[in-house]
Amino acid sequence: METKTLSKAAPIIELPKPLEQLSEGEVERKACIGRLMTYTLNNLTSQFVEKDFQWLLPVALSQSTDPLWPDPGASIEKRIEVDIYGKTVRTTASMIIHKLIASSLAYPKLFILSPNIRIEKAERAKTGKHIYEFTQLDFEARNASTKGVMTLVEEVICNLLTSMKQDMKEELSLLCRCDTLELPKRPFKVYDRQELEVDYGADWEEGIAQETSDPVWVTNIPREFYDFEDFTTGKWDNYDLFMPQYGEVLSGAKREWEYEKILKKIERDNVDKYNYALVLKLAKEEKLKPTAGGGIGMERLVGWISGVEHVAETQPFPRAGNSAR
């Protein structure tokens, strides 16, 4: 089968201006996006609390942060490490390991608004999708299934959009999103990454985002050791959520919990075992439980809702390029 050609090459997107350089009209637009962010945070956190998820506070420095490796989508240029009281800790790339431990030991259903630092190669800022500091609504549930997580996410996103379209008409119309932001039909379609590669080649993420007019799930993406991999079929039980004309806003998975598999994958990936000693110990003692979850990128979700060119437009102090304030 022939690979489809994408309609246009990915455009290079200007970095957003800092607050103090915005014109009056641009400030109004910024404030409008800010109100949609407030609405989204309030709505999603309330929905998770109502569903009996416990709201945990984030950690900023830890021994076991996300290795972000091997993930074909990652391009980490620099990792920030610092010595505290004789121990090397790192800035949080994601709280995935903490989620697995917390959900297994004490908080079966949890979520965190977790600030993540990922210093990716500078040119990635020009995609309009990458920022070096962002916040995930990261959630995890003990004994949850992939289907269960997909249903939960579809429900919370559709609830958010339904009430936002009623309550935030002024903001959505100022951003010209009143008519274009449609309520998706449930359940969302599910694609296997392998079938998308046949259709679009290596650029399947861009391909599916351009072509779909509804949010879609993509499963079976090879990546870090903590996502569940079926060793007999070679398939990964994980999932990303892609928004139409935009791209990925959530990634998640059913997780590994068995010691032998985790160890094998850590060794296979050349990941430093020492940093994951606690999760290995818990798995060995059979205290690590099967969980599933995901993380919604808040800037990306609100970026898609607002129709921004660059995701950093959703941030009061854009975290892209070298204009840090």
**CB-facing half-sphere around the CA of 325: CA atoms within 13 A:** 10
Q: Is 22 helix (H, G, I), strand (E, B) or coil?
A: coil
Rounded to a whole number of angstroms, the minimum distance from the CB of residue 270 to ligand ASN is 18
Question: Which of 215, 244, 252, 318: binder of ligand ASN (CB under 6 A)?
Answer: 252
Binding mask 191-220 for ligand ASN (x = CB under 6 A): ------------------------------
Give the distance, in angstroms, between the CA of residue 81 and the centroid of all CA atoms in the same chain.
23
Rounded to a whole number of angstroms, the minimum distance from the CB of residue 17 to ligand ASN is 28
Q: How many residues interact with ligand ASN (rule CB under 6 A)? A: 11
Question: Which of 67, 184, 295, 318: binder of ligand ASN (CB under 6 A)?
Answer: 295
Q: By C-beta, is 6 or 113 nearer to ligand ASN?
A: 113
Rounded to a whole number of angstroms, the minimum distance from the CB of residue 96 to ligand ASN is 5
Q: How many whole angstroms separate alpha carbon 125 and alpha carbon 75?
A: 11
Instruction: Check the CA dihedral 151-279-60-102 and report its sign.
Output: positive
Binding to ligand ASN in span 120-179, by CB under 6 A: 136, 138
Find out whether 54 and 107 touch, Cβ atoms under 8 Å. Answer: yes
Asked if 249 is part of the footprint of ligand ASN (rule: CB under 6 A), the reply reads: no
Find out whether 319 and 133 touch, Cβ atoms under 8 Å. Answer: yes
Q: By C-beta, is 92 or 210 nearer to ligand ASN?
A: 92
With b for 16 or more beta-carbon neighbours within 10 A and e for fewer, the 171-181 pattern comes to bbebbebeeeb
Find out whether 262 and 269 touch, Cβ atoms under 8 Å. Answer: no
Rounded to a whole number of angstroms, the minimum distance from the CB of residue 251 to ligand ASN is 5
Site residues (vs ligand ASN, CB under 6 A):
66, 94, 96, 136, 138, 251-253, 293-295
